[in-house]
Amino acid sequence: MENSEGGDFFPPNKAQSEVAVSAAAATTVQPQVAVDFPAKKLARQLDFTVFGGSSGQSPATAMPEQTKQIQPLVKSIQLQRPQTQQHMVLMPTKQTAVPTTHPSIRPPLKPDSPRARPRQSVSEVKDGTPKKQKQCNCKHSRCLKLYCECFASGIYCDGCNCNNCHNNVENEPARREAVEATLERNPHAFRPKIASSPHGARDNKEEIGDVLVLAKHNKGCHCKKSGCLKKYCECFQANILCSENCKCMDCKNFEGSEERQALFHGDHANNMAYLQQAANAAITGAIGSSGYGLSPVNKKRKGQELFFGSSVKEPVHRHGQSQQGNHIKASVLPSLSSVPGPCVGNAATVGPSKFTYRSLLADLIQPQDLKELCSVLVLHSGETAKMLADEKDASMKQAEGQREASLASSTQERVQNQKDSSTEKDMLDCCSSGDQGEKISVEESSLDGADVSKRPMSPGTLALMCDESHTMFAAAVASPNDLATLSCNTSSQLPHGQGMTETYAEQERIVLMKFRDCLNRLVDLGQLKERKCSSMIRGADPVDQKDMIGNGFTTSETRNQHDSLNNGVAKSALPLPRTAQLFSAVVTTANNNNPFPKVHRPDENGDVKPKI
DNA sequence: GAGTTTGAAACT
DNA sequence: CAGTTTCAAACTC
């Protein structure tokens, strides 16, 4: 127990190398070992108690578990901290102002401090100026309380300016006692304060510009006067936005806060980051579910007042929480100029501000579009089948006409029809497997005289129709071979033999051609949209961006895009469903080069939408 | 560098 | 759990 405790929490001897962290010695833990960043409160993020869910456990019971897990933690910290620091441009580091005396050459105030050596290895930074973790200046806490950054970081004081320091090897018993007491008060005392996204690793954190937007303060801050824009605020100091966990008042540390943005002004890098953020948001329509949430700066306060009549005295985390709430609300509003909602899509679930990539086509293709597309393709296939069948019948009749009409032949034909009917039934049964509704829908969707259900259909057609309610898209893009497979291998049972196989092949070829054309159209749309977004971003007029919703387009713009899709295409006089329009363009266009002049579009015959 | 402000931690 | 005190860092001058 004691050994494990020392091994878990208490710093190692400074003689230990960083590599030795993995050693099994009792003093293997070097939580601070690679921490080359303002130790400050981030250092407190170390969690020596809770790994593996020791939370709630008494320190005594928690300790053994710490022993098991501390080393991986340390390793991850070593890897992650420096990265984190690199991104913290928001937080003006004062490290350069910190005495740079190297721990190892500092007066042997606390010669046995374990911190010196490990830190050395990582304290050489950028400009070559040796940097050292901040030293505490504790006077009354003996460096045995969380007030002390060193203690909170789980490290010995070393070269600090503290008085009556007990956070060292000589006072190990006292220190241990203090640790236990601290853990007793709060089992999470040494737990990381900043939680990353649910996806875990901090080095996977998502960043927008220079801001860590996924990280979140576990406890949240409670700032009252600093507006969460000073380093008093733990969130701000950690370079994260306040979250719903915070209980701060008059918070300005949220995405879109003009005060916060003001901190960036004059900082080119940050401005660029912000621009980049705006660009990303506009291009991808990444902000939440409702669109462009990136506030083009400076509107937040209005938003706050709008929603809360923002009073400085209003208690609350009002702006940590409410701000997040506001953001959500604001982002829903069509005009961001009026309410500069931050980019928070859903702070309640994803934290202060989470940006998610969305395809340029995200809002172009709707689920019903796929259904309609499949309907179109199915109809097309039916038409093809019909046409080919007619051709075949004509040729057969012609051949028959040349022969003497015989009773036998008519009898044979009846038998043939019976086989067809039987085969059809089998195929439908197979494909509708367990879902009568689908079978019905297939039949219903065959409308208009095409009477697909009563004709032999290609395996591909059947596959398309059968899968319409679940994997329409997949079925549509499947290769003919796949389609044949999907059709339950019924092709071998088909009565027309090779002739029908050719018909099926032709059907599939045409359907796939249509589908390919559709995809090409979509690609064109995407490119069009990309160009549009890019030009908007280049315009860099935030006000203009207010018109961007969702993926960055107004409905009218989107509509225009759809219109452009149909340019040069004879449109149906009847109102087509959106996608029907979309794909009718393809169909009609294809028909120009098509042996099949007439294509029945779904709506031309009324309701042909698959009923699923 | 001294003094003030601030908010987390500790305490009641 | 809320209110108060203590504390040390951040900040101001």
Show me where the domains of chain A are located. 134-191, 193-198+213-280, 362-402+506-531
pLDDT recorded at residue A95 = 35
Q: What is the pLDDT of residue A515?
A: 81
pLDDT in tens, A105-135: 333 333 333 333 333 333 333 333 444 467 8
Strand C nucleotides within 7 Å of a protein CB: 6-11
Q: What pLDDT was estimated at residue A401?
A: 60
Lowest mean pLDDT among A313-317, A332-336, A537-541: A332-336
CA of A537 to C1' of B1 (A): 49
Q: Is the pLDDT of residue A330 over 50?
A: no
Cα dist from A280 to A353, A537, A538, whole Å = 14, 9, 12
Bases along strand B below 7 A from a protein CB: 5-11
pTM to 2 decimal places: 0.37
Calpha distance A527→A302 (Å, rounded): 36
H or E, element range at A60: helix A59-87
Confidence bin at A191 (pLDDT 50/70/90): confident
Distance A143 CA to B10 C1' (A): 14
Give the pLDDT mean for A374-381: 73
Judge whether residue A218 contacts strand B, using its CB and a 7 Å cut-off. Answer: no
- Name the residue closest to C7, CA to C1': A147
Q: Of the segments A136-145, A444-453, A599-608, which one has the largest average pLDDT value?
A: A136-145
Within window 555-584 on A, which residues have Cβ closer than 7 Å to strand B? none
CB of A223 lies under 7 Å from some atom of strand B: yes
CB A5 within 8 A of CB A179: yes
Which residues 390-429 on A are within 7 A of strand B at the CB atom? none
Per-residue pLDDT at A196: 63
Read off the amino acid at residue A115: R
For tokens 């002049």, name the residue. A597
Angle, to 10 degrees, between the axis of helix A407-432 and the axis of helix A436-444?
A: 130
Six-digit token string for A583: 């794909």
The gap between A21 CA and C5 C1' (Å) is: 40
Q: What is the dihedral of CA A292, A297, A300, A302, to 10 degrees?
A: -110
Indicate the pLDDT class of residue A399, thresholds 50, 70 and 90. Answer: low
Confidence of residue A368 (pLDDT cuts 50, 70, 90): low
Residue A400 banded pLDDT, cuts 50, 70, 90? low
Work out whether strand A211-212 and strand A216-217 pair parallel, antiparallel, or are unpaired: unpaired
The rounded distance, in Å, linking the Cα atoms of A594 and A517 is 13
Length A418 CA → B1 C1' (Å)? 105
For A259-310, write each residue's pLDDT tens digit.
888 875 644 444 444 434 433 433 333 323 332 233 333 333 333 333 333 3
Query: What are the start-end ranges of the E strands in A351-470?
Result: none
A189: CB within 7 A of chain B nucleic strand: yes
Which residues lie below 8 Å from residue A526, measured CB to CB, with a gap of 6+?
A359, A360, A361, A364
Answer whether A608's CB lies under 8 Å from A584's CB.
Answer: no
Q: Is the CB of A40 under 7 A from strand C?
A: yes
What distances in angstroms separate CA A169 from CA A36, A240, A522, one per listed residue?
22, 35, 68
Q: Exposed, middle or buried: residue A315 (CB in 10 Å: 0-12, 13-18, 19+)?
A: exposed
Q: Which residues contact A206 (CB under 8 A, 6 or more apart)?
A: A197, A212, A213, A214, A354, A355
pLDDT exceeds cutoff 90 at A160:
no
Could you tell me which residue, A83 or A188, shows the higher pLDDT? A188
Q: Is A489 exposed, middle or buried (0-12, 13-18, 19+ CB in 10 A)?
A: exposed
Average pLDDT, chain A: 52
Nucleotide nearest to A230 (CA to C1'): C10
Does residue A146 reach within 7 angstroms of strand B, measured from its CB?
yes
A309 phi, psi to nearest 5 deg: 60, 35
- Closest residue, by C-alpha, to the C1' of B8: A147
* Inter-CA distances, A446 with A215, A428, A471, A571, A582, Å: 53, 13, 19, 22, 20
* Residue A351 backbone zone (phi > 0: left; psi -120 to 50: alpha; other: beta): left
Q: What is the rounded radius of gyration, in angstroms, for the C-alpha atoms of chain A?
A: 35
Most confident of the ranges A303-307, A416-420, A575-579: A416-420
The string of DSSP codes covering A252-277 is: --STT-HHHHHHHTT-HHHHHHHHHH
Given the structure tokens 């940006």, which residue do they identify? A355
